[in-house]
Amino acid sequence: MGSFNRKDFLKVTGLAGIAGAGFLTGCNAGANSSGNRDGNSPFRLTHDQTFNMSGYAAPALETVRVGITGVGSRGRGAVRRLSRIEGVQITALSDVVPENIDSAMEILEGTDHSPEAYTNGPEDWKRMCDSDDVDLVYICTPWHLHTPQAVYAMESDCHVATELPAAVTIEECWQLVETSEKTRKHCMMLGNVCYDFFEMVTLNMARQGFFGELIHGEGAYIHDLMGLNFSKTAYHDMWRLKENANRNGNIYPPHSIGPVSKAMNINSGDKMDYLVSMSSHDFMMADKARELAQEDEVFEPFVGSNFRGNMNTTLIKTRKGRTIMLQHDVTSPRPYSRIHLLSGTKGIARKWPLPARIATSHHDWLSDEEFAELEEQYTPEITKQVGEMARQVGGHGGMDTIMDWRMIDCIRNGLPLDMDVYDAALWSAIGPLSEWSTNNTFEKLEVPDFTSGSWETNEPGMDINLERGGTTQII
């Protein structure tokens, strides 16, 4: 960024205030300044696009200086992975818990990374963003901080990578979109499951026409987190339990929608039109809160909370007539599942429960031998190039490392990111949309078009065959 501190210039000239000007809060915010709101919708549906971030390539950075906010369990994993990627310099770590900083520093012992620590209170992350030593802010904090930190970082002349969801209200989604367009800074949600090995195989198959026309997709986040949610130490200040106590819907949709959305070219050839959602009753969390409160007053504030239903099911219809089913359940004693199903006019693929399977007719799934042949045929170049090294570095079996590697590779080569701010906004928006529908007698809602019509001409992202880039090494 040179001797001239562009970050201070942006704040002095007022660009830094765009996120706070004119934005409404809450899940039922209305029209924007242009009046782009459907008369029957509680949400803003479009905006006046100032710059199309789809396909945007920011100037290349040979060295990407990274500041990480939130270095608890997810953040420490990011520290470990990013320190193994060529061209990354971890220059800053921010956390309200000093012990988390100490643990992250231990990971970097013996490396050439010597980050500055920002742990002087809950707002110290702003000082990190304002420093002239950070190009990319990597956000691993609780959900409610993702948008405020992302917006501030972009206004401070930094690219952003944020854990998911990127936003928890529709207006936060619009803040991300409008700030990214105004500043021309990347805002990527860390959709790691899009880089899982079978998901990339099926994306390659979809793009090469193996399934014919895609008709239907399914995704889920079914993960028993009862013990972690009611733990006093797993999540700082029990923030995730608070999310489940106050929101009823699919409050964690990115894992389930990401791979299906990319396979269907949502935001780049198709768009989500309508959504409807419903939840079961809560059969477990309120009872657990009452049980724990009898012995520990920490849980007394949760007694009487309107906990989210155990299972939420959300249905989506796209402009091209496809359907998508998403499910969310973090309480029932069920084996882990993301489902991941793609069904087309010529075939189907599904994963979860394991093992993954492919079929081309109603008779049966293909044999293990036929499956292996197809998997070999459609394994994309990105897996061939870095898959084995990514498995060694780890992070959910290696998909986290592939995600981080590709993001850094794109920034270093001046290439568009695989996932842009429109993906971050849309995939996150399913959360508050599902809440509204669930709480309003399963009302059908029109889904906002965060691309403002550019979905019709945008080129698909996820360059899994590395037509450009791929030069960065994992070390």
Domain membership of residue 264 (yes or no) is: yes
Residue 153, amino acid: A
- The pLDDT, as a whole number, for residue 41 is 83
Question: Do 24 and 132 have their domain in common?
Answer: yes
Rounded alpha-carbon distances, angstroms, from residue 108 to 84, 89, 103, 113, 412: 10, 11, 9, 6, 22
Among 190, 223, 249, identify where a domain stops: 190
> Under 8 Å CB-to-CB from 99, ≥6 apart: which residues?
none
The answer to whether residues 229 and 342 belong to one domain is yes
Q: What is the pLDDT of residues 348-405, one digit of tens each?
A: 999 999 999 999 999 999 999 999 999 999 999 999 999 999 999 999 999 999 999 9
148 and 210 both lie in a single domain = no
Beta-carbon contacts of 301 under 8 Å, excluding residues fewer than 6 positions away, are none
- Residues 410 and 417 sit within 8 Å (Cβ to Cβ): yes
Residue 356 included in any domain:
yes
| Mean pLDDT of the chain, nearest integer | 93
The residue behind tokens 């001409």 is: 457
Grade residue 35 by pLDDT with cuts at 50, 70 and 90: very low
Same-domain pairing of 336 and 278: yes
Place of tokens 């292996």: 372
159 with 205, same domain: the answer is no
Kindly report the pTM of this predicted structure: 0.93
User: Are residues 175 and 320 both part of a single domain?
Assistant: no
- In sequence order, which residues have a C-beta less than 8 Å from that of residue 169 and are 6 or more positions away? 25, 26, 27, 29, 432
Q: In what order do the strands lie in the sheet with 64-69?
A: 116-118, 88-94, 64-69, 136-139, 159-162, 187-189
How many CB atoms neighbour CB 446 within 10 A? 16
Q: Single out the residue in 190, 216, 239 at which a domain terminates.
A: 190
Query: What token pair was written down for 19?
Result: 């996120």
Domain presence at residue 468: no
Regarding whether 358 and 238 lie in a shared domain, the answer is: yes
CATH code, 14: 3.40.50.720
Could you list the residue range(s) of the whole structural domain that residue 53 is in? 6-190
The domain spanning residue 431 has which CATH number?
A: 3.30.360.10
Using pLDDT thresholds of 50, 70 and 90, give the confidence band for residue 34: very low
Over residues 36-41, the mean pLDDT reads: 57
| Residue 112 within a domain | yes
The answer to whether residue 178 scores a pLDDT higher than 70 is yes
Kindly report, residue by residue over 409-465, the tens digit of the pLDDT.
999 999 999 999 999 999 999 999 999 999 999 999 999 999 999 999 999 999 999
Residue 245, domain member (yes or no): yes
Q: Which of 190, 207, 240 is the last residue of a domain?
A: 190
- Examine residue 326 and state whether it is found in any structural domain, yes or no: yes
Domain total of the chain: 2
Inside any domain, residue 464: no
Task: Give residue 7's pLDDT.
Answer: 58
Please list, in sequence order, all residues whose beta carbon lies within 8 angstroms of the beta carbon of residue 375, skipping any fewer than 6 positions away: 198, 201
Give CA–CA dist 203/210, Å, rounded.
10
Domain shared by 217 and 108, yes or no: no
258 confidence band (pLDDT: 50, 70, 90): very high
315/366 same-domain check: yes
Gap between the Cα atoms of 267 and 430, Å rounded = 14
At 151-169, the pLDDT tens digits run 999 999 999 999 999 999 9
Is 202 inside any structural domain?
Answer: yes
Helix (H) or strand (E) holding 219: strand 214-222
Contact status, residue 56 vs residue 425, Cβ threshold 8 Å: no
